[in-house]
């Protein structure tokens, strides 16, 4: 997953047992189709080239069944690890924070929720009849993706939408070697975790 045309759009399919979404580029060409196995104790995500699910690109596997400080490895179709996403447990309870590591175990990116109050307002107001219908349009979290030196390389945000769940990934700086693949796979895993979080 490199040299993609940004922004990317991630759009969830509705009314399906296994959570899944498609990824398209700026020209609306398919980039990937991502599917989570339902009813698994440990997260098991498959990334395919298309919705036909005939060409497996990556697997994302959790190292434990509880996601408190869990690590999610990115494995290509041959089983080779290209990096991993780590959820920062206690810190992520209030403000979502994830670290991305390369294949050598060195941290190279950080994903941080911009404003946790957006999620709080969405959860709280979502329980109020009629007003809850508007929260998907009014409250849309943003996540900043930076290097350890503070350089912002990308922005991930939920799109305003009353019905479906759609997100965009925008590129803010040139990627370094291997960074793009880890970033895109990390965002794919994170969107499943954040969706479950609320």
- The structure's pTM equals 0.83
Distance CA 90, CA 74 (A): 23
Residue-level pLDDT at 24: 94
Q: What is the pLDDT of residue 141?
A: 81
Q: Answer yes or no: are the C-beta atoms of 6 and 169 closer than 8 Å.
A: yes
Instruction: Give pLDDT, residue 158.
Output: 84
Q: What tens-digit pLDDT sequence spans the chain (198 residues)?
A: 778 999 999 998 776 677 889 999 999 999 999 998 876 656 789 999 988 988 999 999 887 665 567 789 999 989 899 999 998 765 545 577 899 999 998 998 999 987 655 555 555 555 555 555 555 555 568 899 999 899 999 999 887 766 657 889 999 999 988 899 999 999 999 888 876 554
Give the domains, in start order, of the chain with CATH numbers.
8-197 (2.40.160.200)
Q: Is the dihedral of CA 133, 137, 139, 143 positive or negative?
A: positive
pLDDT given for residue 63 in this prediction: 78
Helix (H) or strand (E) run with residue 100 in it = strand 97-101
Cα gap 45→110, rounded to integer Å: 21
Asked if 157 contacts 143 with a C-beta cutoff of 8 angstroms, the reply is yes
φ/ψ (deg, to 5) at 38: -80, 155
Cβ contacts of 161 within 8 Å, gap of 6 or more: 136, 137
Burial class (CB in 10 A: 0-12, 13-18, 19+), 16: exposed
């Amino acid at each position: 997953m490199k040299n993609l045309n940004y922004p990317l759009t991630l759009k969830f399919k509705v009314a399906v047992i296994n959570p899944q979404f498609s990824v398209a580029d700026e020209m609306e060409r398919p980039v990937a189709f991502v599917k989570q196995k339902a009813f698994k104790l440990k997260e098991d995500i498959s990334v395919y080239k298309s919705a036909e699910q005939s060409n497996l690109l990556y697997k994302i596997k959790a190292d434990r069944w509880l996601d408190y400080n869990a690590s999610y490895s990115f494995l290509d179709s041959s089983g080779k690890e290209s990096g991993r996403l780590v959820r920062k447990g206690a810190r992520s309870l209030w403000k979502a924070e994830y670290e991305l590591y390369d294949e050598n175990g060195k941290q190279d990116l950080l994903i941080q929720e911009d404003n946790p109050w957006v999620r709080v307002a969405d959860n709280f107001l979502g329980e109020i009849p009629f007003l809850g219908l508007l929260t998907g349009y009014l409250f849309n979290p943003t996540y900043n993706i930076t290097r350890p030196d503070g350089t912002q390389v990308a922005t991930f945000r939920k799109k305003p939408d009353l019905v479906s769940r759609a997100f965009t990934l925008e590129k803010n700086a040139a990627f370094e070697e291997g960074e793009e693949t880890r970033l895109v796979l990390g965002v794919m895993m994170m969107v499943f975790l954040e969706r479950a979080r609320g």
